[in-house]
Amino acid sequence: MSTAPYDTDFYRWTAETARALREGRLADVDLGHVAEEIEDMGKKERRELLSRMAVLLAHLLKWVRQPGRRSNSWRATVAEQRLELQLLLEDSPSLRREMEGQLARAYARAVLIAIEDTDLPESAFPTACPFAVEQVLDPSFWPE
């Protein structure tokens, strides 16, 4: 077992656990916490996917609802989120399967962001996401 307790010195625990794993000393590894940390890493990736989708969708909604306020900043945010999503999907291709299932959740967050940014009422936005996943990821897609 690692000499540093998981709950009191996480950084030291990670270093000692990594060293024990590299050296093949499995008996010295707190496998329960290792498994927990691996699961948390996967959850973090899914949360990043959801967050980036929400920001991207919010900007697409603003693009549609406020055409007179379109700016290079909005365009840059959309491009950045699409790029970051592509990089995330390259690193973790199985997340692509999560996108369809996360679209409704991301859209609900996007509407809240768009309401806050625009002062438009919730009724100004469609109740369901009007964009398909492929449109969301397509760098040439701009809703009109």
Buried b (16+ CB within 10 A) or exposed e, 37-50: eeeeeeeebeeebb
Q: Of 24, 28, 27, 23, which is closest to residue 13 (Cα–Cα)?
A: 28
* pTM for this entry: 0.85
**Tokens coding 56:** 């991207």
Would you say how long the chain is, in residues?
Answer: 144
Average pLDDT per consecutive 10 residues, the chain (144 residues; last block may be shorter): 74 92 94 93 94 98 96 97 97 92 96 97 97 96 93
Contact status, residue 109 vs residue 50, Cβ threshold 8 Å = yes
